[in-house]
Amino acid sequence: MNASPAAGLLPATRNALALLLLAMADDEFVIGFSDSEWTGIAPILEEDVAMSSLAQDEIGHARALYELLAEVVADGRDADAIAYDRPPTGYYHARLLDHPRGDWAQTIARRYLYDTADAVRLEALAGSSFAPLAALVGKIRREERYHLMHVSTWLDRLALAGGESRRRLLDALERLGPDASTVLAPLPSETALLMAGIVAASAAEQEAGWRAAIGPTFERLGLPMPPPVSAPETARSSHSSAFERLHDEFTSVRRIDPAATW
């Protein structure tokens, strides 16, 4: 087996990198699984295929990030073991993704908030000093471009349709808004990441960039901007009972026979 691509990093930098990869991978994994619950019941057949395809893309991104994480930590666990063999409390996704998929408006609102925040996070990693991550981010961004196009066109439709569509969207934004920027809340290891040039912008800078990016859309559609995050220190811990149910579901096959080969 090849040496870890992170072999040349200082231990503190390596740990910081591992935490960043875990946060990103868990985010993609959880939203991918959550949105895949629409398969078979989305509003129309074409959208069913589209949402399922987006969800599969996110699982694909999660897999690539878990694989990279497995190489960085090099503790013998593979991507599947990291993805599936943790208790719910061991996951490190943002609180925004603790919400259930809810109705269609909540799914669209969450995807919009998440995808726009993720785009800013990915931009800050595009020139990462950790070359394997920069290369992976380059590929992920090419797929996320379409995700943003698709969810933006849905946000417009729900916001501009008026009536029940708009009311449900506003309800969803009220529920999700306070947790929206948990995706960009600072990691405890942020300083090490910035010093090593792994990330180009601090969490605060990323959040400002995200607000500047979505501001014109929210203003055009007359939607309330997400408030500042509450309790940023627990942005990625103390998960909801909705997540515990999702975890129970997505680990159910793995638990039957963790050593099964596919």
By CB under 8 A, name the binding residues for other proteins. 44-47, 49-50, 53, 146, 149-150, 153, 157, 160-165, 167
Cβ distance to other proteins smaller for residue 165 or 251: 165
Least separation in angstroms between CB 52 and other proteins:
9
Least separation in angstroms between CB 63 and other proteins:
17
* Residue 136 parent element (H or E): helix 131-160
The residue type of 99 is H
Count CB neighbours of 234 within 10 A.
12
Cβ distance to other proteins smaller for residue 47 or 123: 47
Cβ distance to other proteins smaller for residue 153 or 241: 153
Cβ distance to other proteins smaller for residue 11 or 162: 162
Least separation in angstroms between CB 157 and other proteins:
6
Least separation in angstroms between CB 208 and other proteins:
30
CA distance 186 to 235: 9
Cβ distance to other proteins smaller for residue 149 or 212: 149
Please provide the DSSP assignment of 216-253 as one string. HHHHHHT-PPPPPPS-GGGTTSS--HHHHHHHHHHTHH
Cβ distance to other proteins smaller for residue 146 or 248: 146
Least separation in angstroms between CB 67 and other proteins:
21
Count CB neighbours of 75 within 10 A.
9
CA distance 158 to 139: 30
Least separation in angstroms between CB 31 and other proteins:
18
Cβ distance to other proteins smaller for residue 157 or 245: 157
From start to end of the chain, where are the E strands? none
Positive or negative CA dihedral for 18, 20, 21, 26? Answer: positive
3-state secondary structure of 90: helix
3-state secondary structure of 42: coil
On whether the CB atoms of residues 158 and 221 are closer than 8 A, the answer is no
Angle, vertex CA 83, rays to CA 48 and CA 59, nearest 5: 25
Least separation in angstroms between CB 106 and other proteins:
17
